[in-house]
Structures are given as C-alpha cells and as structure tokens.
Amino acid sequence: MRIILFGSPGVGKGTQAKIISTTLNIPHISTGDILRQAVVDQTPLGLAAQEAMKRGELVSDEIMIGLIKDTLSHKQCSNGFILDGFPRTLTQAVELDELFEQLNIADVRIVIISANEEEIVRRLTNRRACKNCGNIFNYNDIKDLNACPTCGALDSFYQREDDKEDVIRNRLRIYKRNTEPVLNYFQNKKNEIYIDGLAPIEDVTKNILDELKKANTKITA
Ligand code: AMP
C-alpha cells in the first residue's frame, strides 16, 4: 500500500506513521528523520539543511525533491511506503506526481490529519526526544524516568531546537503559507481521507486503518 500522511507539524503524523508502517509492513519514509540523521552525520545533505531546520523553515524544494526521488526509486519502496513530511509545497506535490507517473504508481492514498492549533503548540512544547534512538515522548510521561523506555539510554532526553515555542509558531505560519495550499491540489484528486488528530492515539490509528479499508485498499495486516 502507498500512503501519503499529510497534516501540520505536531498533528501526530510521525507517531501514526510508525504504527501503520509496522502494522502494514511498509517502510516509513520521514523526510524530517532522514534530514535529522544527515545533520548528525554532517553529510553534504545535513550541512545544506541544518540552518533552515534550526529555524523551523523549509529546506529548498530542489534538495527535497532530489532526496525523495532517490528514496522512492529504491527497491525497499517498490511494494509500498508511508510518506511522512512530503510534499510540503505545491512544487513538491507536482514533482511527486510526476515521479509517481515515472515509477508507474497509481494507487496512492492521501491521509489528512487535522487538529486545533493551540493543542498542537501544547503537544509540541511538551515533546522530548531521545538522543540515542530518536524516539519522541510526552514530557509528562518521561519526567519520572531517567531511562528511555524504547532503548534504555540514560539521561538521553532533550527538547528539539524546532520544538521550542517561537520556532513552533514559525513552523505553523510556514505550514499555513506554504503547505496548506497543497490541500487544494489533493482535493482535486478525490482519493483523500480526513482524520481527526485530537482523538487518542489508538483511535486515530483505528480510524485511519478503517478508512483505508473502506477506500477499498487491500490491507495486509
Ligand atoms: P518534520 O520532522 O517532518 O517536522 O521535519 C523537520 C524539519 O525538516 C522541517 O521543519 C523542515 O525544516 C525539514 N523538512 C522536512 N521535510 C521537508 C520537506 N518536505 N520540505 C522542506 N523541508 C522539510
């Protein structure tokens, strides 16, 4: 199955993408994760992206389109994927369609998750990431623990530079300006599914899987 997970920063795309990737056994392609790893490794991609990322701004379309072409053309994506964080501009959406055509991909489902802006700010400022495994947790869940529940690393939690409140507000502004117009582009395709991101995590997952089934897509879970 091929899925694009779309929605503003903090709406729960990453969390849902990880669960659905495991449930449906398809690779999770997070452009944010790929870029963050490139920054840690200080590769040419990481060096080119790091300043924009720190400010919560978008990395250039040229870099992002090159990255997504390399990733989706790889054979690990030939039987499906869940795309998280791409496209984020109209140019990226149009180029992605062209890439799908070149790769003979015609069955993509677009899952659009939405949530209220203040709830998003609250969620993102409460997020902490593990330096070792990169997994994200709610601050209230981890404040009594000194070990990461996923990898066991000690004292490894930190707040991502782009999860600080001023940067979050900037990311939301950029989402409204550059990314929301992509919604109109998707609406013309008539294969999108709308999901309320404010429900508990398990309910959001269930709603996504139910809607995908209803959309007559073969689910291998
Ligand atoms: P995310 O983890 O998806 O919120 O992405 C973190 C950061 O990576 C974003 O704030 C951008 O700076 C950059 N980024 C990720 N995906 C894209 C994209 N499709 N286009 C431009 N920048 C991106």
Ligand 1 centroid–CA 144 distance in Å is: 31
Q: Which atom of ligand 1 is nearest to the CA of 60?
A: 21
Our mutation pick for probing the ligand 1 site, out of 13, 18, 72, 88, counting the most ligand atoms within 8 A of Cβ, is 88
Say whether 36 is catalytic: no
Report the nearest-CA residue for atom 2 of ligand 1. Answer: 32
Q: Token pair 């944010």 is at which residue?
A: 32
Amino acid at site 82: I
CA pair distance 107, 204, nearest whole angstrom:
22
Annotated catalytic residue: which of 18, 69, 127, 164?
Answer: 127
* CA angle, residues 44, 11, 30, in degrees to nearest 5: 30
Say whether 128 is catalytic: no
Amino acid at site 43: T
Residues with CB under 6 A from ligand 1: 9, 31-32, 35, 52-53, 56-59, 64, 85-86, 88, 92, 162, 171
Annotated catalytic residue: which of 2, 36, 88, 123?
Answer: 88
pTM: 0.87
Annotated catalytic residue: which of 2, 109, 128, 160?
Answer: 160
- The 10s digit of each residue's pLDDT in 34-73 is 999 999 999 999 999 999 999 889 999 999 999 999 999 9
Report the CATH number of the 2-116+179-214 domain.
3.40.50.300
Integer angstrom CA distances of residue 49 from 44, 67, 90:
9, 12, 19
Q: Residue 4 has what pLDDT? A: 97
What parts of the chain have a pLDDT lower than 70? 144, 216-221
Nearest to 72 by CA among 47, 53, 98: 98
How far is the first Cα of the chain from the last one, in angstroms, to the nearest whole number? 11
Q: Residue 169 has what pLDDT? A: 92
Our mutation pick for probing the ligand 1 site, out of 58, 71, 173, counting the most ligand atoms within 8 A of Cβ, is 58
Q: Which atom of ligand 1 is nearest to the CA of 56?
A: 10
**DSSP for 154-204, written as a single string:** BS-EE--GGGSHHHHHHHHHHIIIIITHHHHHHHTT--EEEEETTS-HHHH
Strands (E), 16-156: 28-30, 81-84, 108-114, 127-130, 136-138
> Angle, to 10 degrees, between the axis of helix 31-41 and the axis of helix 61-73?
100
* Domain boundaries of the chain, sorted by first residue: 2-116+179-214
Ligand 1 centroid–CA 53 distance in Å is: 7
Say whether 122 is catalytic: no
CA pair distance 58, 121, nearest whole angstrom:
18
CA pair distance 199, 180, nearest whole angstrom:
22
Q: Which atom of ligand 1 is nearest to the CA of 86?
A: 19
